[in-house]
Amino acid sequence: MVGLALDQLAPCWPALSLAEVEARLTAPGMPFEMTIETIRGTPMRVWKTMPPTLAHLLTAARVHGDRPFTIHEEERVSYEANHRAVGALATYLRSQGIGPGDRVALAMRNLPEWPMAFFAITVLGAICVPLNAWWTGGELAYGLADSGARLLIADGERHERIAPYRPSLPDLKAVLVARATTAMPDEERLESVIGTPADWSGLPGGDLPTASIMPDDDATIFYTSGTTGAPKGAVGTHRSLLTNILSSAYSAARTALRRGEMPPVSKPRVALTVIPMFHVTACSAHLMAAVAGGSTTIFMRRWDTVRAMEIIERERVTVTGGVPTIACQLLDHPDRARYDLSSLEAIAYGGAPAAPDLAERIHQTFGALPACGWGMTETSATVTHHGGEDYLNRPTSAGPPVAVADLKIMDTNGTSECPRGMVGELWSRGPMNARGYWNKPEATAETFVDGWVRTGDLARLDEEGFLYIVDRAKDMVIRGGENIYSIEVENALYDHPAIVEAALLGRPHRVLGEEPVAVVHLAPGASAGEVDLQAWLRERLAAFKVPVAIRFLAEPLPRNANGKIVKRDLRALFEPSV
């Protein structure tokens, strides 16, 4: 798909250029006014009206009162109840000696306790360390040791995994366990401190404990997905996370103005959030904006398409998404017509390549606006955002950057900027960037350069500034000196009606160095063979890009917690060529 014709989009679209939109939205006195501040020695544009700290955000959110903050199965927690629980837990943490700069780890699946504990930690000026809930006990112990966490808040399942490693973690002084699955002392049960979520509304309703916090103080350590090597902890600041509030709102306003409409009045939304909260997309891009706008966040025990459709119908969910696979499963499920999904206004996703026709399918099937974007752990999520007619007309783009972000494409040596349209390494700068990696000065110096993040993504920018991710540098296959960008081949495979998921990777070749191979997962009831798919690709791609072998998986392709296909787990399907 090359995009919709302009006469198929909104009349006279685009009504304004990107530059005209930015000038209007960021003018003095407007909600998205910007100012210049020096952050770690680099002058940057920042949102002038951004809340200065997470404590300011939470205090302001108390106005939402009895509105549902989180829903998990039959549990409903209001904004007021959450505020009271945050205050009670923060007071307890302070009594345990937790203060500014101390690391407190958070290891649990998506539960009402997760965002509550997150705010209780950060309003004290302590640093929240969200650990990957999918990690093994050894991996969780690595995160605890690497961050030097003094206290851990975990759910029962994660605590069971970590318990055998406690003797090897001398910095870890205390543990609080929510929903314990084994017998344990009362002093280590979170419920002994603040009760269950059903009890939070009865906690004292005083103000939050105060702490001296500045916008550029450390707030989080989010670990990278670790697809290669040991995970690194990207240190985010209060500003890093809070920038996303106005970036998300700016993107929505930009879409409206491009259509020739006034930006809509902000209203609370109901979001079915299936991305793990330990990922910056859920915590930074979603949670910050949800709290600011009084939106409701619904958690699922695990993703199940039928259960998700039931929740969308019952709760009148207005936005969902996460990774493209979720949107595809909603679109392709044979029972979709049995459920009323008309409340959906937007389906947003990122973290993995999407089939080029996915945006149009979402719009035509649900009447919902598709949205995607680009960001990474090191940028605290949102850098670009793509929605509405812009997305429908440029389905292979990740969108333009938000007004406070800068992008540039650099050569492989990182010394010269490439002209528009040329592929090179993507560099990103803005107030949302992490300040570096925790206790890894060499890795920090390599990735964080004068306010820029060297992303490792191969990309290009078109003349209007729209970003196109071409490949992950380490995922590019080089066949006999010819570069094969995996996303190009994967998009061609996604165009095949039988394919739901696809991944291209390289396997060693004695003469060529590498040769391309692919793994696919077919839609329910669909059929296709290796020869069929190779013929399909030969009609669309140069011969050297066609996979020499294609494997078929009956189950979805393996993904990490960030939604990215873990290609290393697929390499075992191919034996080295001789």
**Which residues, other chains included, contact 464 with Cβ-Cβ below 8 Å and sequence gap of 6+?**
17, 18, 400
All residues at 6 or more sequence positions from 98 whose CB lies less than 8 Å from its CB, including other chains: 104, 121, 124, 126, 150, 151
Burial 176-193 (b: 16+ CB within 10 A, else e): bbbbbeeeeeeebbbbeb
CATH of domain 6-50+235-472: 3.40.50.12780
H helices within 96-211, ranges in order? Answer: 113-122, 137-147, 156-162, 191-194
Q: Which helix (H) or strand (E) holds 507?
A: strand 499-509
Are 6-50+235-472 and 54-213 in the same CATH fold?
yes
pLDDT at residue number 136? 85
Other residues' Cβ atoms within 10 Å of the Cβ of residue 326: 20
Task: State pLDDT tens for residues 141-186.
Answer: 999 999 999 999 999 999 999 999 999 999 999 999 999 999 988 8
Task: Please state, in angstroms and as integers, the Cα–Cα distance from residue 160 to each residue in 107, 150, 231, 274, following that order.
Answer: 11, 18, 22, 23
Q: What is the CATH number of domain 54-213?
A: 3.40.50.980
Domain spanning 476-573 has what CATH number?
3.30.300.30
Cβ neighbour number for residue 470 with a 10 Å cutoff? 20
What is the pairing mode between strands 75-78 and 103-107? unpaired
Asked if the peptide bond before residue 14 counts as cis, ω within 30 degrees of 0, the response is yes
Predicted confidence (pLDDT) per residue in 439-490, tens digit: 999 999 999 999 999 999 999 999 999 999 887 777 788 787 677 878 889 9
Cβ atoms 85, 201 nearer than 8 A: no
Mean pLDDT by 10 residues, the chain (578 residues): 38 89 96 97 97 98 98 97 98 97 98 98 98 88 97 97 96 97 91 98 94 98 70 96 96 94 91 93 95 97 93 97 83 94 90 73 90 92 91 91 98 91 96 97 95 94 94 77 81 92 88 86 94 93 90 91 80 70
Could you tell me where the beta strands, DSSP code E, fall in 156-217? 174-178
Determine how β-strand 452-461 pairs with β-strand 448-449: antiparallel
Q: In the chain, where are the structural domains located? A: 6-50+235-472, 54-213, 476-573
pTM confidence score: 0.86
The residues with which 559 forms a beta bridge, in sequence order, are 565
Q: Look at residue 241 and give its three-state secondary structure.
A: helix
